[in-house]
Amino acid sequence: MTFTRRQMALRIAVVVLVIAISVLLFVYRDKVSALGAYGYPGIFLISLLANASIILPVPGVVITSAMGAVFNPFWVAVAAGSGAALGELSGYLAGFGGQTVIKDSPRYQKLTEWMRKYGDWTILVLSIIPNPAFDLAGITAGALKLPVYRFLLWCWLGKVIKMGFFAYFGAGILQVFK
């Protein structure tokens, strides 16, 4: 596949932007946690920022558990899952912009096979499982040019389910100590 200079510049810019956001979120992760004081919008923002980082861990699910103990766990799951799904667009964009960077990775090859064979189910299952490997799923979806609305739909559903588990876990822990 041949790219024009403009396409190549855009792809490089997207990858650099995603890396910069990831580093900033990692460096300022303590300040991101303070957003929880703003209720559901704060939970949404924390989750969005936590999932916008690529590979570097930002403790979004820990905050979701804590907020599930304070607020209604169902709405915490919806707010956190929605933010998480939108945050995962950074991985999708990294794949769209830098697909040649990870092309030789054995994990990428395996994930590409799953994505081609099982499509949306791969995104759903991997977004439910708490693991940093979902970044690779987003990168793969972007590299394969999966329509963004499909990526977001299945990612959102999986993230709401996952965040629901953590929110209700947090609420349950609070009940144990009452």
Per-residue pLDDT at 139? 85
Domain boundaries in the chain? 5-176
Q: Which residues contact 38 (CB under 8 A, 6 or more apart)?
A: 45
Distance CA 163, CA 128 (A): 8
**Banded model confidence at residue 144, pLDDT cuts 50, 70, 90:** confident
Chain segment 12-35, per-residue pLDDT in tens: 665 565 556 555 545 555 554 565
Whether residue 134 is predicted with pLDDT greater than 80 in this model: the reply is yes
- Give the lowest-confidence range in 15-24, 60-69, 109-118, 159-168: 15-24
How many CB atoms neighbour CB 177 within 10 A?
6
Whether residue 167 is predicted with pLDDT greater than 60 in this model: the reply is yes
Chain segment 81-103, per-residue pLDDT in tens: 999 999 999 888 888 776 555 66
How many CB atoms neighbour CB 36 within 10 A?
17
User: pTM for this one?
Assistant: 0.75
Higher pLDDT: 4 or 68? It is: 68
**Banded model confidence at residue 128, pLDDT cuts 50, 70, 90:** very high
Distance CA 70, CA 33 (A): 15
> Please, are residues 47 and 79 in contact by the beta-carbon 8 Å criterion?
yes
